[in-house]
Amino acid sequence: MMAAFLQFLRECYEVTDDPVAFSVNCHVNNGLSAGEIVEWWLERLGLPAACARKSIVNRRSRASRGRRGHVLPYGTARLAVYSTFIVQSMYGATPEYAGIERPEWLDLR
């Protein structure tokens, strides 16, 4: 899903790698190092290592060490594109996507 959104930004807004920041939140008790997990995500997203920011590595608490829950081996990722223009453009397009017609919203008096 994240790769599709990044592709959308690249195609529709001509986003380059410069304003993109990327970080990972993961556990490393699954045989993978934090570096390997970050590389996995960067490869999937087609981003250079320069876009990677500091990862958050979670440790199991004592209370949950005996339990086995749903584990995401590559953690979760956060993608940020720093562009006020893109955010404002998306906010402006939202009523059109939703089919909302409110001309009074456009009255700037």
Domain boundaries, the chain: 17-60+71-101
pLDDT in tens, 15-72: 999 999 999 999 887 889 999 999 999 999 999 999 999 999 987 666 666 556 667 8
pTM summary value: 0.76
Are 22 and 75 in contact by the 8 Å Cβ rule? The answer is no
| pLDDT at residue number 51 | 96
H-helix or E-strand spanning residue 25: strand 20-27
Residue 17 CB partners (closer than 8 Å, separation 6+)? 47, 48, 50, 51
How many CB atoms within 10 Å of residue 100?
A: 9
Both tokens of 91, joined, read 């906010």
Measured CA to CA, the distance from residue 39 to residue 33 in angstroms comes to: 10
